[in-house]
Structure 1
Amino acid sequence: MKQKNLLTWAISAIVYLGLVIGGYTVYASLDSNSDHTDTRSEADSHGKKETNTKQAHNDDHTSGKDSGHSNHGAPSESEVVTNVKYEEGLISVDLKDKDQNSPELEISHEKIMHLIIVSADLKDYYHLHPEEKGNDVYTLKFDLPENSYKMFVDIKPKKLSYQIRPIELHVGKGHSEHEENSLKADTNLSKTINGKTVELTTTELGINKDVTLTFDTKGITPEPYLGALGHVVILDEMGEKFVHVHPASEEKTLFETKFDKPGIYKVWGEFKFGGKVNSYPFIIEVK
C-alpha cells in the first residue's frame, strides 16, 4: 500500500513537472515570437525612416537646386533695370536692382560692361565698353550719328539674374519710328574689311539644334581680343533677340550656338588684325 502511494505521488510529480515545463516552453515561445515581431517592426520602421530621410534629402537637394536657379533667374526674368542716355556725345548707362541700388558687376572677357549698339536697319554696329567713374553710372564719350538705335547692355551682375533686352535710342530728329527690316540671306559668305578676308561656313541651320559657326581667316590667326580669338553677336531680323557668342576653342575661330525660332538673323564676327578690330557682317537664314 505504501509503495502504491509512493508510485502515485511520483507519477503526479512527474505530470506536474511536465505541465510546468510545457507551460514555460509555450510562454517562452510566445515571448520569443513577440520579440521577433517587435524587432522586425523596428527594422521596418527604421527602413521607413531611412527612406523618408533619403527622400527629405532629395527634396532638400532639389529645393536647393531650384532655389539656386531662382537666384540666377529664369530666362524671362531680370532683377536689374538698365537705363541708357545719350547727350552731347556722352553715353550714360545707369543700373538699378529692385531696391534701387547699383548692382555689383563681375568682369566678363576683360571688361565690366559690353555695350552693343546697332542701328534700327541693322547696318551700323558698335561694340563699346563704358566704365564706372565713381558715381555708379557707366559712361563713355562716343559720337553717334543721327539715327535710331537699339542698345544692348551686356553685363554679369553678382548674385542677380539679368536678361539682356533692347533699349531704343533716337539721336537727332526724324528718327522716332523703327521700320521693319527686309533682310535677305547672303549668297556670298566671304567678306573683306581693311584688306583682311573672313569666310563663314555653318553646320545645318535648323531650330533647336547645335549649330557651329566657323570663320575661316585665310591662314591668318587673329590677335587675342578681349581674352579670346574673336567674338560673335547675333540679332534676329527685328533686333529683339540678342546672342553674344564666344569661341568654343582657344585655338580655332569656331563658335557654337542654338536658334529657337526660324527666320533671318544678322551675325557680326569680330576679329582683330594688326591691332585693329574688324566687324564682319553676315546675314543667314534659319529654317
Structure 2
Amino acid sequence: MKQKNMLTWAISAIVYLGLVIGGYSIYASLNSNNDHSDTHAAKTKGDEEKESIIEQSHNDNHTSKKSDGKDGHSDHVAHSESEVVTNVKYEKGIITIDVKDKNQNSPNLEISHEKIMHLIIVSADLEDFYHLHPEEKGNGVYTLKFDLPENSYKAFVDIKPKNLAYQVSPVGLQVGKSHSEHKENPLKVDTNLTKTINQKTVELTTTELGINKAVTLSFDTKGITPKPYLGALGHVVILDDKGENFVHVHPASEEKTLFETKFDKPGIYKVWGEFKFDGKVNSYPFVIEVK
C-alpha cells in the first residue's frame, strides 16, 4: 500500500513539473512575440520619424531653393540680351520711337532723371549732338516734332523699363539724301579740356582714366552755378569713337557738378557735359582717352 502511494506521488510530481515547464514555455513564447511586436512597432515609429525628418528636410531645401530663386530673381539684370526692342523713324519733321518687348507688348517705363525717355541723337561723325525728350502717345509709341538737318545719325533711346533687361544700343537713322557713314571717327584727344560756349566756360578734370574702375568727372563752371537740369546740376553723355558704346553717367553730388561712371574697354571717348545757364542748355564736348 505504501509503495502504491509513493508511485502515485511520483506521477503527480512529474505531471506537475510538466505543467510548470509547459506553462513557462508558453509564457516565454508569448512574451517573445510581444517583445518582437514592440520592437517592430518601435522600429516602425522610428522609421516614420526618420522619414518625416527626411521629408521635412527635403521640403526645407525645396523651399530654400524657391526662396533663393525668388529672392535672387534679378535675373533680368543678368541677361546679356536686351528684352526690349526700340525702333526710331524720322519723317516730315516728326521723330517716332516704337518700344516693344519680345512679345510685342508695350513695356511700362520708369521716370529717369525727370523724364520717361531720353533720346540722344548724334551725327555719324559725332559732331552734331541732340538730347531730346519724346512724349508718350500710347501703345509703346513716343513722338516728337523736331527738324533734323540732312545727315546720317545714330539714335540712342535711353529708357528704364520696369522688370525688363534693357541695354542702350545705336539705331541708324538716315535723314535726307544718302550720306556716307564714317566707319572710324578720327577723334583727337583734347589737350585742353576747357571749353567756352555762349560766353560760359567749363573745364573738365577726371580721376585716373582706367578700365573697370570708378571714374569721377569734375566740371568746373568757373564760379557760376548752373541751374538744375534733369534733376541735377547737369547731365553727361559719353560715346566711344565708333558711336556704338553708350556709357551711363550718374550725378555724384546734388551740390557740385560731379559725375561718376565706369569704362569697360580702353579707347577714345567723346563726352558731352550739358549745363543750363541763363535758361539755355549748353553742350560742352570733350574727347578723352581711356587706357
Is the shorter-chain TM-score for this pair beyond 0.5, marking a shared fold? Answer: yes
Q: Distance in 1 between matches of 2:26 and 2:112?
A: 89
2:55 to 32, 49, 52: 49
Alignment CA distance shift 1:26-1:177 (3 Å):
same
Q: Distance in 1 between matches of 2:211 and 2:18?
A: 98
CA contact (8 A) 2:88 2:155 kept: no
Q: How does 1:94-105 map to 2 (within 5 A)?
A: 94-98=98-102, 100=104, 102-105=106-109
CA contact (8 A) 1:228 1:246 kept: no
Q: Distance in 2 between matches of 1:177 and 1:141?
A: 25
Q: CA deviation at 1:65?
A: 6.3
Which residue in the other structure is 1:186 paired with?
190
CA contact (8 A) 2:90 2:175 kept: no
- The farther-off stretch of 163-172 and 118-127 is 163-172
Q: Distance in 2 between matches of 1:19 and 1:152?
A: 97
Helix, strand or coil: the match of 1:285?
Answer: strand
Q: Which runs of 5+ in 1 are unaligned?
A: none
Q: How does 1:89-238 map to 2 (within 5 A)?
A: 89-98=93-102, 100=104, 102-133=106-137, 137-173=141-177, 175-238=179-242
Q: TM-score, normalised by structure 2?
A: 0.80
CA contact (8 A) 1:231 1:244 kept: no
Q: Distance in 2 between matches of 1:19 and 1:102?
A: 88
Q: TM-score, normalised by structure 1?
A: 0.80
Alignment CA distance shift 1:144-1:62 (3 Å):
same
Which residue in the other structure is 2:277 paired with?
273
CA contact (8 A) 2:240 2:246 kept: yes
Q: CA deviation at 1:264?
A: 1.2
Alignment CA distance shift 1:82-1:254 (3 Å):
same
Are 1:80 and 2:85 matched, yes or no? yes
Q: CA deviation at 1:101?
A: 5.2
Helix, strand or coil: the match of 2:154?
Answer: strand
Q: CA deviation at 1:140?
A: 2.4
Give the root-mean-square deviation of aligned CA atoms: 3.3
* 1:18-66 deviations in Å (ceiling 9; x for gaps): 4455444433433333233223322332222123223322443455468
CA contact (8 A) 1:80 1:160 kept: no
Identity %: 60
Q: Distance in 2 between matches of 1:256 and 1:9?
A: 108
Q: Which runs of 5+ in 2 are unaligned?
A: 1-5
CA contact (8 A) 2:120 2:156 kept: yes
Q: CA deviation at 1:128?
A: 0.8
1:241 to 242, 245, 255: 245
Alignment CA distance shift 1:23-1:230 (3 Å):
farther
Compare CA radii of gyration and give the structure with the larger one: 2
Paired positions, count: 285
Q: CA deviation at 1:238?
A: 0.3
Alignment CA distance shift 1:37-1:284 (3 Å):
farther
Q: Distance in 1 between matches of 2:126 and 2:162?
A: 31
